[in-house]
Amino acid sequence: MKVGWSGSTVEARELGSGPAVVLLHGYPLDGAMWSGVARLLSESFRVIKPDLPGRGDTPAPAAPGIEGYADFVEAILAELPSGAGLAGFSMGGYVALAVAKRRPPNLAALALVDTKAAADTDAGRRGRDESIAVAREKGVEAIADAMLPKLLSAAALANRDTVERVRRIMLRQPKDTIAADLAAMRDRPDSTSFLSEIRMPARVIVGAEDAIAPPEEGRAMADAIAGADCIVIPGAGHLAPVERPRAVATSLQEFFARTLSAGGAAGPA
C-alpha cells in the first residue's frame, strides 16, 4: 500500500485480503522479520508489514523518537478501513502503545509481542548510550554481534540459517537509524499506568525463553489490561516471530479472527 509520509509517497509491503492487520518490527530489524508470520496470516487477513522510518525506503521522521515512529503508523492506519488490528514486536510494541494512547478511531485490537510497558531503568538508559557509541564508532556489525545472543534462544543460535537470516536483516540497517532507535527506546515514557486504560481487545505474546521481555512481565502486562490474555510460545527466545512463526501466527490469527471483522469491530482504547 502507498502511504503519504515526510513529503513523499512510501510503499508499505502488504499481502493477502480481509480485515487489515499492521505488523510493527523491532530493533535493530525491519519489516522482513515478520515474513513467515505474515505469509501465514495473509490466508485470512490483509497484512501490512512496513519498515519503520529511517530504513528501507521510508524516510526518517522529522521528529525522532517513539512518537515520530507512531506518527508514521498513524499515517498507515489513516489509509485503512475501520476495524484494523495492530501488532508490535519489542520496539514495535513501544510504538504500538504510543499509537494506542492516541486512540485512533479505526484501531480495533492490539497485540503486544515480546515487549514491555515499563520505561528503561537508569542502567538500561546507560546501556543504550553505550550501544549508540558502539554503533557510531564500530558500526552495525558490532551491534549485530552483541544483539544476536540476546534476540535468539540457545536452539535458534545453533541454527545457522536462522542466525544468518537475522544477521542479514540487522546488517542492512543504516548506522544512523540504529542510533535513532536506541535513543527512541532510551527516552520512551513508562506506559505501565496506561495499560489499565486500554479498552480494546488485547493479547500479549511472549517467548518462553525471552530474556529481554520475560514471560512474567508479559503476564503482568496482560493482567493489567482488562480482558487481555498472555500466550507463551514454547522454545522461543525474544525473537519469537522468527523462531516460531507458525505458533505466533496461530496466536495472532485466533486473536484477530475473534476481534476483527470486515465491517469493523470493537472501538478504540
The CATH class given to the 2-118+190-259 domain equals alpha beta
pLDDT at residue 264 is higher than 90: no
Percent of all residues in the chain with a pLDDT value above 70, rounded to a whole number: 97
For residue 82, pLDDT beyond 80: yes
Does the pLDDT at position 57 exceed 90? no
pLDDT digits (tens, 9 = 90+) for 185-221: 999 999 999 999 999 999 999 999 999 999 999 999 9
For the segment 93-148, what is each residue's pLDDT rounded down to a tens digit? 999 999 999 999 999 999 999 999 999 999 999 999 999 999 999 999 999 999 99
- CB contact set of 2 (below 8 Å; sequence gap of 6+): 9, 10, 11, 12, 79
What's the pLDDT at 3?
A: 93
| Number of Cβ atoms within 10 Å of the Cβ of 95 | 28
Q: How high is the pLDDT of residue 6?
A: 86
